[in-house]
Chains A and B, each alone.
Chain A
Amino acid sequence: MAEHNSIWEALGFRKASGVGEAGWGRTLAVAIVSLIYFLPVLFIIFTAFKPQDAALSVPPTLSPTSFFGLIPDQFVFSPTLENFGSVFKRSMTSGGAPESTGFDRYFFNSIVIASSSVLLALVIGTLAAFGFSRYPLKGNDTYLFIILTTRMLPAIVVIIPVILMFRVVGLSGSYTGIILLYTAFNLAFTIWMMKSFFDELSLDVEDAARIDGSSDTKVFFKIALPQVVAGLAATFVFGLILTWNEFLFALLLSGPDTRTVPVAMNQAVSSGGRGTDWTLLAAIETLFLIPVFLVTFFLQNHLLRGVTFGTVKR
C-alpha cells in the first residue's frame, strides 16, 4: 500500500515525481498534444466567464489575464460570473423581471437519472455477467450477442418503437421510464464489460472458496466481486458518461418535470428568439462538466487499472 504523505495524495492526486524516465522532450510533446485535445473544452470554459460582447469578438479573446502584459490587450477579456447566475435566474422576455429557469431542477434530474440508471445497470449487469461467465447456458454466446444487438442500431431507428411502448404502458415523461430505458441501454455494455473482467479471474480461487465451505453467493460477494472493483469503477464511469450526455431519448421521453440538462440546454439556447446566447450555453456546459469530471477524477486510479486489466499475464 502506498503511503499517503499529504492530504492531496489522500484525495487521489498522484505524487509529483518529475518527468520520470520519458525525459523532458517526450513529456513536452505529450503535453502539447494533450493541450490540443483539451483546447475545445478550455475554450468553452473560458467562454463561460466572458461578457457577451467578448464572446463574439473578432479576433477571439483568448485569456482572462494578460500575463503581465505578455498577451496583447485585444485577446484579453475580463472574467465575469454573470453567465453562471443567468443559468439559474434570468429574464425570459426582453426587459422582463428575472425569473427562475428551472435549471436547478434539470441538474437534479440529470444526476438522479444518470446515477440511478448506471448503478441499477451495474447491479443487474454484474450479476448477469457473473452468470454468463460462470454458469454458461446452452447457447451462451447467442444470448450475449442478442444482448449486444440492442446497441447495434442508431438511437434514431429504435426511438419510434420505444416511444410507442412507453405510451402504451404510460411510462413516458416519468422518472421510472427514462431510468429504466437508460438502465436497459447500459446493461448491454455493463454485461459485456463485467463478463470480460470475470473471465480473467482465476477459477481456482473460487473452487478453493467452495472447498473451504463457501456457497455460490458467498463466492460471488466475498471472492469474485472484490477482485473486479477496478472493472466496476471503469464500467461505472463509462456508463455514466454515455448516460449523462444522452440527448435524443431524453428529448423525446422526458416530461417537463423530468427534463435532463442536455435537453434543457437545447431549449435554453434556441428559445427566446434572440439568437444563440453563447456565453449562457458555455456556462451551462461548464457546470454540466463538473459532476462527471469529479467522478472520473476520484475513480481515476481504479479506472487506469480497470482499462488495462488483463493485458498483463499473471
Chain B
Amino acid sequence: MSTIEIRKVTKQFGAFTAVKDADLKVEAGEVVCLLGPSGCGKTTTLRMIAGLERATSGDVIIAGQRMNELTPQKRDIAMVFQFYALYPALTVGQNIAMPLHYENLSKSESDARVMKVAQIMHLTEVLDRMPNQISEGEKQRLAVARAIVRDPNCFLFDEPLSRLDVELRHSMRGQIKEVLTGLSKATVIVTHDQLEALTMASRIAIMKDGVIEQVGTPHEVFAKPTNVFVASFIGTPQMNLVEAELQSFGDGKASVVLAGQPLSIAADPAVSRLKPSKVTVGIRPRAFTTVQDKSGDTIAAQAELIEPMGAETLIHARTSAGGDIRVVVPRDKRVKVGEALHLKPDPRQTHFFGADGKAVRA
C-alpha cells in the first residue's frame, strides 16, 4: 500500500530544533499539503520522508515499512524539487528516462514509458532539447514527468509551483491535481501558498516553528482553526483577531468588551469555562454585515482605507479604541472614507481563543 506515516519525528541541527515531534499519516490516494511560513520546518519534514535528511528521533514509515536508515534510492519514492533539479547535461527525454535506468527495462520498453509520460505532460515536442533550452513551464512539467514515469511508493513535491507566474501556476495546479488523482498514491506537497494548499490538498498540515499546529481538510482548517496562528494564517484577507474581555456568559451568548465596546454574541457553551477572562475574538472579514443602527451586537468603527478588489471591496475600519478591523463587503455596497459603520459579526464565523491562543470549542 502506498502510504506515508511519520511518528514523533524530530530533527535537530545542532542546538536548533527544525522539526519537533511531528505526527502525520498520509493514506493512499491522499494529497497532504504541508503549509507554513518560510523556515517552519516543512521542507525539512519532506526531506526526512525522502531520506535526504536523517531524523534525529522518531519513525519514518513508507508503505508500512520503517525506513529511517534507508538511503533515498532504496525508499522507492519520487520527488519534485522547488528548482526542478533537472539534470543539466541530459536531454529532456534522458531526464525523464533517468529514474528508469534502475529498473533494468529494455530500451524499447523504457522509450515507450518516456513517450507515454511525455504525452501526458505535453513534452513530446521538446524531448531532444536540453533543459536550459525549454521554457519555465516546460521545465516544471518535465520535473513532474520525471516523477511520474516510475511507479513509486509515494510522491513528494517541494514548492512545485513557486517559480511559475500566476497564470501558469493556476493551470499547473489543475494539471498536477488531475495527474495525482489518476495515480492514487500518497502524496505530500510542501507549499507556503495557502491557495495552492486549499485547492490541491485532501488535507492540510499547518506548521509553525517546527510544530504541526493542525491537520485537517481545507474546509476544517478554514472553518475551525485550532489556534490563533492557524486562524491568522489561513484565509485572505487575514482574520480579524481582536483582544477582548469576557464579562459573562448566559443563554448561549457571550458578553464581551471588545475594542472598548460592549458586544453580545452567540458562542459555544465551552466559552463560559474560560478563565481568566482575557480572550481573543477572531472574526473573518467576510463575516460582517453592515447595519444601519447601533445595537448590542454590533461594533462601531470608522472606514479608514478602502481597497476595491474587484468582486468585493476591502475596508480597513478603525474602532474608537484604535483597533483595526478588516471588513469585506460586496462590490455594490458603497462606502466612503470616514463613514461610520456598524458591523454585525456572524456568530457562526466568530471564534473565541483563550489566553493560551487555543480555540475554545465543545
Contact = CB atoms under 8 A, between A and B. Distances in A.
Contacts of B84: 204
Interface stretch (B85-93, B194-202, B264-272): B85-93
A72 to B, nearest CB: 56
A112 to B, nearest CB: 31
Nearest to B74: A213
A204 B84 CA distance: 8
Contacts of A211: 50-52, 72-73, 75, 77-79
A223 interface: yes
Contact of A205 (B51, B75, B85, B101): B85
A212 B73 CA distance: 6
Nearest to B131: A205
> Chain B at the A interface: mostly helix, strand, loop or mixed?
loop
Contacts of B101: 213
Contacts of A208: 79, 81, 85, 87, 146
Contacts of A204: 81-85
Interface in A184-225: 202, 204-205, 207-215, 222-223
Given A214-B73, A215-B73, A209 B87 contact: yes
Given A215-B73, A227-B89, A207 B102 contact: no
B51 to A, nearest CB: 8
Contacts, number: 58
A210 B71 contact: yes
Chain B contact patch, size range: 20 to 34
A208 B50 CA distance: 10
A205 B81 CA distance: 9
Contact of B52 (A205, A207, A213, A215): A207
A226 B89 CA distance: 6
Contact of B87 (A210, A213, A215, A223): A223
Interface string B43-57: 000000011100000
B37 interface: no
Interface string B229-243: 000000000000000
Contacts of B274: none
B86 A212 contact: no
A205, A209, A227, most chain B CB atoms within 10 A: A205
B98 interface: yes
Interface in B89-138: 89, 98-99, 101-102
Nearest to A216: B71
A197 to B, nearest CB: 13
Contacts of B82: 204
A223 B52 CA distance: 17
Given A212-B98, A212-B146, A213-B73, A205 B88 contact: yes
B26 to A, nearest CB: 17
B50 A209 contact: no
A207 B146 CA distance: 14
A159 B88 CA distance: 45
A210 B146 contact: no
Contacts of B81: 204, 207-208
Nearest to B158: A204
B88 A210 contact: no
B76 to A, nearest CB: 9
B325 to A, nearest CB: 43
Contacts of B75: 211
A212 B94 CA distance: 13
A213 B83 contact: no
A205 B131 CA distance: 12
Nearest to A224: B89
A210 B98 CA distance: 11
Contacts of B98: 209, 212
A34 B193 CA distance: 55
A202 B89 CA distance: 13
Contacts of B52: 207, 210-211
Given A226-B89, A227-B89, A210 B72 contact: yes
A210 B72 CA distance: 6
A302 to B, nearest CB: 14
A212 B83 contact: no
Contacts of A207: 50, 52, 72, 79, 81, 85
Nearest to B89: A226
A227 B131 CA distance: 13
Contact of B85 (A202, A213, A214, A226): A202
Contact of A213 (B88, B89, B99): B99
Given A202-B85, A205-B87, A213 B102 contact: yes
Contacts of B79: 207-208, 211
A227 B87 CA distance: 9
Contacts of A222: 87, 89
Interface of A: 202, 204-205, 207-215, 222-223, 226-227
7 contacts: A204-B81, A207-B85, A211-B75, A212-B98, A213-B102, A222-B87, A227-B89
Given A208-B85, A212-B102, 10 more contacts: A202-B83, A204-B83, A205-B87, A208-B87, A210-B52, A211-B73, A211-B78, A211-B79, A212-B78, A227-B88
Which 9 pairs show the lowest CB-CB distances between chains A and B?
A: A213-B102, A226-B89, A204-B85, A208-B85, A212-B99, A210-B72, A204-B81, A205-B85, A213-B73
